[in-house]
Structure 1
Amino acid sequence: MDRFDRQERIQVDGESWDQQKLLKSKVAIVGSGVLSQNIAAALVGLGVGWLSLYDNRAAKGRDPGEFLALFRRNGHAFAADSLRDVLLHMSRDAGTGEPLLRVESTPWKFVDPASACILGAPNLIIDATNDPFAERVLLDYARARNIPLLNASAKRMHAELSLDRGSGGLEERLSPDYHGKGQHPLTAGLIAGIAADEARKVLMPLGTERPIERTVRFNGLSGNLLGVYDELAQEKYDSLDLSGMRAAVIGAGALGNWVIPGLSQMGVGSIEVWDPDVFEESNLSRQLMATLHEDAVGRGKAETVVQVLSTMFPEVQYTVRAEPFEGAFARKPDVVFRCTDNWESTRSINDAAVREGIPAVFCGTDPTVGQAYLFKPGDNYCLECMFGVDKQIAANAQPIGCTAAPDPSVITTNMVAAYLGLALFERFAAGDAVPKNIIKYDNHLISQRLHYPYTEQSPALEGSCRCRGSP
């Protein structure tokens, strides 16, 4: 079973995934910050055959916000060169150890129209610089050559994504709102997952799906994460200290591989990782930590993830639990993340959350949908109420986000669901009200909506639940 097997099983409107089309595609990525790093990692997971990186930013010292750059620097002076080495390492064949993809880097700054000629004629250009001047240069170049241009921007609590295909839509987005602002790992990771999904639609559309036609936004300061206007105080989030918090993550697969490093970047002091499974070759297209390890196939997921992250985040106390979670913690965590692949484990998580009063974050995906929900005991419905866990078990249903069976799965929706869950956790940790509905991403509907994400109310089960929650 090859590394792309799980995504090659995806079909949309009867049309099958065409991995060869992605392998023959070339994408130019401008920028080398955390936004570019996450987009590039997702494109490696998708199997885009040729990535060209452009940026003249100096390689930074140890910066937890840029965990990919922490992995393999090789003494490079420029961040783009360091990122190139990381991506080549991630794309290695499990058997030969040789890179499956072509990755190049050029220290470069786009200062005028002539400077853009170095781009050549890729199938897609992605700008992730937060630099409106570079955006303008790239936009003019792309339009003159009929090359699609994705523009992704991120800062603390906000992120945006636009696509220009010569229609004039992106010109309206060229604003100074993100100029000079640092790219925060949480918002950058979320918008990067969507950007990679939209890149795939440009390179390899399936069925009737189409890329975005308007600006997509995320606003972590709006009341329900959906609004245009800021309703919360950013100062609270800027000063948020999570070093004293304990998190438990149940599942170190496709979702956990983004949630666990995300918690580490956010500064959570203690993370307990539960997973009895081992990495397989087909996991490599979606499970980031496996690709960063030297030889992950056949090794335990929880152990491997912790081994990789411990070198990057020595200040975090990690605990490995290479066993199924059956409802008991040795020490009560402040939050538990459901990133597992079956409903039996989900029931154990929910039982523990209700019994011990532990907030629980549900993350789940399928090939086109990513969703997240935070159960806050005494404030809203538990996971049984919202997702009908017992009914799912009784029906022997495959769970959303299944990774044990060879079902269709792709890296992008896992990224989005994971970072949505992290955004909900940050809202809870800051003491602000948590949305009472499921936050859901659907890559079929995103092109029809101005703002992302959107909420979906899931009906409670009939009868009473011992969580005694209320919507």
Structure 2
Amino acid sequence: MSDRYLRQMIIEGWDQSKLYNSSVAVVGSGPVAISTLVALSMLGVGDIDIYSNRILKQYDPSEFLYFGEEPGVYKVDALERIMKKSNPDLEGNITNLKMGVTWNFLSDSELILMDKSAGKTRYNLVVDATNNPSIESLMLQYGISRMVPIINASAMTYKGEVKVVTPDGKEISRGALSTEYAYKPQDPVMAGLIGGLVGEEARRLLMPLKGESIEDIDVNLNFLSRKIVGQEDDYENLNPDYRKSVLVVGAGSLGVNVVRELVQRGVKKIWLYDADRVEELNLNRQYEYTLADSVGQPKALMLKEVASQYNPAVQIIAKNEFFTGEFKSALPDAIFRCTDSFKTSAMLNATAHKYNIPLFYAATSKDDGQAYAVIPGKTPGLDDIFDVNKAAEEEIVPAGCVEEPTPSVGTVNMIMSSAMVGLFDIWCAGAEVPRGYLNYSNKEFNRFSFVETNFKTAQNKGV
């Protein structure tokens, strides 16, 4: 195995060999399946089978991995080529399997064929990523009959759901996804969040860390709710206007996902700043750099090269330098903070308030993260909530990943990046952005919570 996994291997109790020796089946080839495959690849799962008989009709940025592929190819053929190219550790250990002409898995004989075609006694995990209730039902039967855990994952615009069904079958009645998702188009931003969460749950099932339990869970996210985790829709008839210019500061683990999803959304222009170069240790968390010969190259320039291919209509201006807080040309409509520097966070918070520009923020660790939107005068600033000014004064910035590697997992970054863009969606629709932050923790049973926020002083609100 390559050194790309070092940042996660230094986590206490992490056993990379368990992931590498695990066998996972992913059913589907749409946005949720694509994000799931990215997450599994970043984790270093060594044996992946992809089930689908879908044919690529034409390229759509929502299915970004198919860029450059000719119409008429089987999607699984394209995915196999791309995944093997992006992660050499998968060479020979990823298989495309075209299941039946109807792709409905309507009989147990087809489930047996699923075993035989894979050449395995059973999988360690099966992920249904289809939004198809029939396939979902069959996969649940497959899991229960073969004592294999099943993850059902689905996404649509503004909403997503993940259910983990363990093999004992006691909770099979909880396994079915909401019919709300049935046959709906999968939104790429929610797919990114759900794919990251699937990766987190897959890691937990395949390689549980000390203190982690294996249990059935049901996680729902709803960006039509003011608390994001609520069941009720507070926003109606959102119609986002993505004709925006956006500043993205940082082209690391958060920035690569944010830039990709902004490109998928079709924003007008992206200014991208990052002074670092790609290191091999980045590759398990920054997937875009695996799609080109990137190691040693400037991050901002390489991310522009890859992301521009997803949607050439989006103008990306990449700067291999630090952003200073001063604008040399027109002001952006929004700012994304995609760096782990407190000094940069404090500077961007001040910049956002100085110029009255919304600031979208996320922070992550190896097992948790937060996503938040600063709307000057309407929601508290970063210093109100996270004390970034004090943290900036105390911060000692490491020279880079090689000099001072810290525990990090790419799946958490996927989740929080997409959460930032989800908040951006609400703002682009002209709706009131939630006054609080979305908190993720893989140590909590519900995984997500919404934390309401308040201004420290009236002065910070600008009154």
Number of the residue aligned with 1:106: 97
1:468 and 2:453 are equivalent in the alignment: no
Number of the residue aligned with 1:144: 145
Partner residue of 2:323 out of 308, 322, 325 = 325
1:189 and 2:192 are equivalent in the alignment: yes
Number of the residue aligned with 1:380: 379
Contact 1:353–1:359 (CA under 8 A) maintained in structure 2: yes
Structure 1 residues 373 and 402, CA gap change in structure 2 (3 angstroms):
farther
Q: 2-side partners of 1:282 and 1:116: how far apart?
A: 39
Give the letter for the 2:325 counterpart: G
What displacement does 1:172 show?
2.8
Number of the residue aligned with 1:456: 451
Contact 1:427–1:434 (CA under 8 A) maintained in structure 2: yes
Task: Identify the range of structure 1 (384-393 vs 252-261) with the bigger mean alpha-carbon deviation.
Answer: 384-393
TM-score norm. by structure 1 comes to 0.90
Mapping 1:222-261, distance limit 5 Å = 222-233=225-236, 235-237=237-239, 240-242=240-242, 244-261=243-260
| Per-residue Cα deviation, 1:100-155 (whole angstroms, up to 9, x for no partner) | 57211011122221111233211000001111111111111111110111100111
Backbone CA RMSD of aligned residues: 2.1
Number of the residue aligned with 1:68: 65
Structure 1 residues 173 and 149, CA gap change in structure 2 (3 angstroms):
closer
Give the letter for the 2:184 counterpart: K
Number of the residue aligned with 1:36: 33
Number of the residue aligned with 1:423: 422
Number of the residue aligned with 1:23: 20
SS of the residue aligned with 1:223? coil
Structure 1 residues 101 and 197, CA gap change in structure 2 (3 angstroms):
farther
Number of the residue aligned with 1:172: 174
SS of the residue aligned with 1:82? helix
Partner residue of 1:86 out of 49, 57, 82 = 82
What displacement does 1:347 show?
1.8
Give the letter for the 1:107 counterpart: K
Q: 1-side partners of 2:227 and 2:92: how far apart?
A: 40
Q: 1-side partners of 2:396 and 2:370: how far apart?
A: 18
Partner residue of 2:307 out of 309, 314, 319 = 309
Structure 1 residues 265 and 196, CA gap change in structure 2 (3 angstroms):
same
List alignment gaps of at least 5 residues for structure 2. 116-121
Contact 2:133–2:182 (CA under 8 A) maintained in structure 1: yes
What displacement does 1:302 show?
0.4
Contact 1:22–1:49 (CA under 8 A) maintained in structure 2: yes
Structure 1 residues 101 and 469, CA gap change in structure 2 (3 angstroms):
farther
Give the letter for the 1:167 counterpart: G
Q: 1-side partners of 2:384 and 2:97: how far apart?
A: 52
Number of the residue aligned with 1:134: 135
SS of the residue aligned with 1:215? strand
List alignment gaps of at least 5 residues for structure 1. 94-98
What displacement does 1:79 show?
1.0
Q: 2-side partners of 1:404 and 1:216: how far apart?
A: 37
What displacement does 1:397 show?
5.9
SS of the residue aligned with 1:45? helix
SS of the residue aligned with 2:144? helix
Structure 1 residues 437 and 207, CA gap change in structure 2 (3 angstroms):
same
Mapping 1:300-449, distance limit 5 Å = 300-330=298-328, 331-396=330-395, 405-445=404-444, 448-449=445-446
What displacement does 1:285 show?
0.3
Q: 1-side partners of 2:280 and 2:392: how far apart?
A: 28
Contact 2:58–2:71 (CA under 8 A) maintained in structure 1: no
Q: State the 4+ residue runs in structure 1 displaced beyond 4 angstroms.
A: 401-404, 457-461
1:119 and 2:114 are equivalent in the alignment: yes
SS of the residue aligned with 2:140? helix
Structure 1 residues 192 and 404, CA gap change in structure 2 (3 angstroms):
farther
Structure 1 residues 469 and 255, CA gap change in structure 2 (3 angstroms):
farther
Q: 2-side partners of 1:177 and 1:170: how far apart?
A: 19
| Per-residue Cα deviation, 1:341-386 (whole angstroms, up to 9, x for no partner) | 2112112211211110010011110000121110001101111222
Q: 1-side partners of 2:214 and 2:369: how far apart?
A: 17
Aligned length in residues:
448
What displacement does 1:396 show?
2.2
Contact 2:291–2:306 (CA under 8 A) maintained in structure 1: yes
Q: 1-side partners of 2:402 and 2:336: how far apart?
A: 16
Contact 1:252–1:273 (CA under 8 A) maintained in structure 2: yes
Contact 1:129–1:153 (CA under 8 A) maintained in structure 2: yes
Q: 1-side partners of 2:88 and 2:223: how far apart?
A: 36
Give the letter for the 1:329 counterpart: F
What displacement does 1:318 show?
0.4
Contact 1:341–1:403 (CA under 8 A) maintained in structure 2: no
Give the letter for the 2:78 counterpart: S
Number of the residue aligned with 1:96: none
| Per-residue Cα deviation, 1:372-410 (whole angstroms, up to 9, x for no partner) | 1100011011112221112112222679x9998410100
| Per-residue Cα deviation, 1:293-322 (whole angstroms, up to 9, x for no partner) | 1x1000000000000111221100000111
Contact 1:254–1:403 (CA under 8 A) maintained in structure 2: no
Q: 2-side partners of 1:469 and 1:415: how far apart?
A: 34
| Per-residue Cα deviation, 1:307-339 (whole angstroms, up to 9, x for no partner) | 011122110000011111111122211110000
Q: 2-side partners of 1:46 and 1:195: how far apart?
A: 11
SS of the residue aligned with 1:427? helix
Q: 2-side partners of 1:468 and 1:403: how far apart?
A: 41
SS of the residue aligned with 1:373? strand
Q: 1-side partners of 2:389 and 2:339: how far apart?
A: 16
Give the letter for the 2:66 counterpart: A
Structure 1 residues 101 and 434, CA gap change in structure 2 (3 angstroms):
farther
What displacement does 1:212 show?
4.9
Task: Identify the range of structure 1 (353-362 vs 404-413) with the bigger mean alpha-carbon deviation.
Answer: 404-413
Contact 1:360–1:375 (CA under 8 A) maintained in structure 2: yes
Contact 1:324–1:345 (CA under 8 A) maintained in structure 2: no
Structure 1 residues 340 and 404, CA gap change in structure 2 (3 angstroms):
farther
Identity among equivalent pairs (%): 35
